[in-house]
Amino acid sequence: MVATCDDLRLGGTLSASGIAGGTSINSTALGVADWSQILGSAGMSARLQQINGRPGGFISGDQLGKMRFPILSMRITDLDAFGGLTEPTRYEQKVANTDVFLGLISDPAGQYLELDMADGSQRFIHAHNLDAAALFQPRKLRTIRVPLVSTYPYWKAGGQESSQTISGADVMAFAGNREVYDAVLVFSGDGTFTHSDLGWTIQVTGSAGAVTVDLGARTVTEGGADALNRIRRNNRKWGWFVPGSNNVTSDVSVVVTWRQSFA
């Protein structure tokens, strides 16, 4: 599928309101040569899978989506200096801009890859470069194909994150077109949160205050300290949400925070 995008940004810092900073790739010095694989292909999501030769036997995954594999095809020229790119002499700029680009994309800690979609929305994913290779192509137009891998398979909404407080029976609406596996639940204290449609339950017991359950990171903290022993999960499931309406109930105040996901 060819992505319909207006701009591409690398790097930056993620906050509740979106991504700030980074390098905009929208100039004649550095641009996208081919959008066809910019969204990448997603790996398989963890599901119940039947065991061959064992009728009725299943293996249950962690209910986490697997990796995604975008490919950046970038064209590097020797023209202007937009987006923080350099502008030395004419024949040096291709080298300098290539170096800046590879330095951004090959950061071992990964980088945010953000797309401005044609409808005005933003989507981002946190990706790592697989093989930042040396290049030797002096005084020529360069087109570089850069393979990336992201820990999670889905792009996220680039704007303000969503939040809802649940106390009692309620309905949560999730936009986007894919499941949300990395919501964060903050329990005000001991209590039980249940997804009535999907059947998963998380119970907090023995707490002395607020307990944060990060479904994506698989962490539980209380006052900044590890508190994994504070929760009970039915069938060892970590929670997730589906696009559209989600019926939930809680006997304690729980603040749920998430970003919508896209294929």
Please name the residues in contact with 87: beta carbons below 8 A apart, sequence gap of 6 or more.
Answer: 29, 80, 81, 93
Given CA atoms 70, 136, 90, 103 in this order, what sign does their dihedral have?
positive
Instruction: Convert the pLDDT of each residue in 38-79 to its tens digit.
Output: 888 876 555 555 566 666 665 555 556 678 888 888 877 754
How much is the pLDDT for 1? 45
Query: What pLDDT, on a 0 to 100 scale, did the predictor assign at position 24?
Result: 81
pLDDT by residue, tens only, the chain of 263 residues: 456 788 888 888 999 999 898 888 876 667 788 888 888 887 655 555 556 666 666 555 555 667 888 888 887 775 444 445 555 455 555 666 677 777 777 888 888 999 988 888 889 999 988 766 555 555 556 778 888 998 888 899 998 999 999 999 999 999 999 899 899 999 999 999 999 999 999 999 999 999 999 998 899 999 999 999 999 998 777 899 999 999 999 999 999 999 999 98
Is residue 176 helix, strand or coil? strand
CATH 2.40.30 in the chain is located at: 5-157
Give the model's pLDDT for residue 139. Answer: 56
Closest to 156 measured CA to CA, from 172, 129, 178, 173: 178
CA distance linking residue 68 with residue 29, whole number of Å: 28
Nearest to 45 by CA among 126, 125, 154, 128: 154
What is the predicted pLDDT for the residue at 81?
45
Q: What is the pLDDT of residue 56?
A: 65
Phi/psi at 246 (5° precision) = -130, 120
- Give the integer Cα–Cα distance in Å for 29 and 48: 48
- Residue 55 identity (one-letter amino acid): P
Considering the domain delimited by 5-157, tell me its CATH architecture: Beta Barrel (2.40)
Domain 162-262 matching CATH 2.60.120.860: the answer reads: yes
**Are 101 and 113 in contact, with CB atoms under 8 Å apart?**
no
Beta strands in 82-224 (DSSP E): 111-117, 122-129, 142-150, 155-157, 162-174, 184-187, 191-195, 201-204, 211-214, 219-222
* Cβ atoms < 10 Å from Cβ of 118: 10
Q: Which of 101, 103, 93 is nearest to 25 (CA)?
A: 101
Domain span(s) for CATH 2.60.120.860 in the chain: 162-262
Tokens of 225: 């300290």
Q: Which of 84, 104, 87, 105 is nearest to 96 (CA)?
A: 87
